[in-house]
Amino acid sequence: MVSNSIVLERRNDVKRINNGKGKRLPEVAGSWPIIGHLHLLAGSQVAHKVLGSMADKFGPIFTIKLGVHRVLVVCSSEMAKECLTTNDRAFASRPKAMATELMGYNYASVGLAPHGPYWRMIRKLIVLELTSQHRLQMLARIKVSEVKSSMMDIYRTWVTNARSYERVIVDMKQWFGKLVVNIVVKMMFGNHFSPGEQNGDQFLKAITRFAQLVGEFVPSDFIPWIRWLDLGGYEMKMKKTALEMDAAINGWLEDHKKKRNYASTLQVDESKDQDIFMAALLRRVEEAAKEELYGFNADDVVKSTCLIHHDPQIWITPFEFHPDRFLTSNKEVDVKGRHFELIPFGSGRRMCLGMSFALESLQLILASIIHAFEFQNPSNEKINMTESFGLVNHKAGPFELQVAPRLSPRVYGFLD
């Protein structure tokens, strides 16, 4: 989850972090009755920028009030390290929220589940059956196949729409989104969405809405007694999104249950790895479901990531694109949770389980398309990088580029 702020929330009291005297941190002024500082986060600016402005004024650690909750905001690498190492266990949980209840299978999703025996069990299952290095190597052919297929989609678009050797406009935001969904869905369920396929488009839209709704500031999460009003219609939207995602996933699961015996035949084809994986996964889930897992030890802590990714004390020209900085001034910094100047995957026990998968996929995708195609901005203006609201701050608008092949036409025949 790539965002730009760390927010740690605890109901009724703010967790004391080795402050010596056990005193509460001061609360930012401007709190309104009942809603607290919610009005500051309800504007057109994304939350991390609002919190960043507060940090410039009040320092790297302060508290705000969101409804009935007091919230600790941390925006320095030193404090991030303190929270995610020394006090890692105290901040290892997740809060109860409408989104995690309605779209996270009643707090059962591994990324949103509170810390406890259930989370440890499901985390172990995912590491063993999906994100381990052995499993990623076994399923590596899927990533290669999907990247080739998606690149061929771009080439066909160019062949169909371009005049002579002119470039064709492609929405790369949509292309990247479909490719990532196809890789994940193919690895887990053995399915693939073709261009223009209705089910694929609907599932991608549902995933996008899920990420957006999880990142929304839902009034009833902070003022519980007004949930029955459903202000903003969030409950209705979340239930609809959950049903759309369930419809697709349940169809794939039922299909694989019927084909589980197929895996035992060990037929040598492209679907072999997916079938074996699904058979093992379903067996492990069924075994785990027989265990009685009562009571999550939820201590109502919310985490995001941190403002330190744009801290000018750490990064020279932090809002400019200079990848060479990781070969010179910041060459010792990596993204694997050991250097708190840059933690896009988090750190500690709740670090993102898909980090290795994400990094391998990113390198493969970028290397492939940069080698195969030439890209150009269709206008002379800078690309609008306005961020959208949500769990992940995506680019708000489309990312349209002019694309043309840079290799011989016969090379693209090998992508089929």
Binding residue positions: 352
Contact 396, 208 (CB under 8 A): no
241-256 exposure pattern, b = at least 16 Cβ within 10 A, e = fewer:
bbebbeebeeeebeeb
Contact 340, 80 (CB under 8 A): yes
Half-sphere exposure of 37 (CA within 13 A, CB side): 19
Tokens 């030193």 map to which residue?
Answer: 78
Reduced 3-state DSSP string for the chain: CCCCCEEEEEECCCCCCCCCCCCCCCECCCCECCCECHHHHCCCCCHHHHHHHHHHHHCCEEEEEECCEEEEEECCHHHHHHHHHHCCCCCCCCCCCHHHHHCCCCCCCCCCCCCCHHHHHHHHHHHHHHHCHHHHHHCHHHHHHHHHHHHHHHHHHHHHHCCCCCCEEEEHHHHHHHHHHHHHHHHHHCCCCCCCCHHHHHHHHHHHHHHHHHCCCCHHHHCHHHHHHCHHHHHHHHHHHHHHHHHHHHHHHHHHHHCHHHHCCCCCCCCHHHHHHHHHHHHHHHHHHCCCCCCCCCCCCCCCCCHHHHCCCCCCCCCCCCHHHHHCCCCCCCCCCCCCCCCCCCCHHHCCCCHHHHHHHHHHHHHHHHHHEEEECCCCCCCCCCECCCCCCCECCCCEEEEEECCCHHHHHHHC
Which of 35, 32, 5, 15 lies closest to 222 in space, CA to CA?
35
- Annotated binding residues for heme, as ranges? 352
> Measured on CA atoms in the order 154, 159, 165, 166, is the torsion positive or negative?
negative
| DSSP β-bridge partners for residue 9 | 71
Half-sphere exposure of 84 (CA within 13 A, CB side): 29
